[in-house]
Chain A
Amino acid sequence: MSAQAAAAPGQATATRRLADLAKTIRSKNAGVDRITFDVIFQDRDNYELVKRSGVLSRESVARLYGIAESRITDFVTFDPANAIKFTILRERPSGSPGDSDIFGAQQYAPLLDIEVPVVSEG
Chain B
Amino acid sequence: MLFNSLDFLVFFPIVVMVYFALPFRFRWASNRIEPVVPGQPLPEPADDGERVLQGVALQRAEAGDLQTIVGNPAEPALDQIVAQFQSDQEVQRIDEVIAWARRQVEERFGPPEEGGYELHYQVYGRDGVMGALEPNRDKPAHELGILVFGVAPTAEMAEEVALTGTRQMFYARLPDVKGTAGGVAFPLDEVVRVSPAYRWTLNHALRVDDPLELFELHTTEVAAAPEREAAEVAS
Contacts and interface: CB of A to CB of B under 8 A. Distances in A.
Contacts of A109: 130
Interface string A84-119: 000001111111111011000011011000000000
B202 to A, nearest CB: 10
B199 interface: yes
Interface in B95-146: 118, 120, 122, 128-135
Interface stretch (B7-15, B38-46, B69-77, B226-234): B38-46
Candidate in B36, B40, B41 with the most chain A CB atoms within 10 angstroms:
B41
A81 interface: no
Contacts of A94: 200
A107 to B, nearest CB: 6
Contacts, number: 68
Q: Chain B interface residue count: which class?
A: 20 to 34
Given A64-B135, A66-B132, A91-B133, A98 B149 contact: yes
B149 A107 contact: no
B200 A32 contact: yes
- Interface on chain B toward A: helix, strand, loop, or mixed SS? mixed
Contacts of A91: 39, 131-133
Q: Chain A interface residue count: which class?
A: 20 to 34
Contacts of A97: 64, 66, 118, 120, 149, 151, 197, 199
B87 interface: no
A96 B135 contact: no
Interface of B: 36, 38-41, 59, 61, 64, 66, 118, 120, 122, 128-135, 149, 151, 197-200, 203
Closest 4 CB pairs of A and B: A98-B120, A93-B200, A97-B151, A96-B199
Interface of A: 32-33, 64-67, 71, 73, 89-98, 100-101, 106-107, 109-110
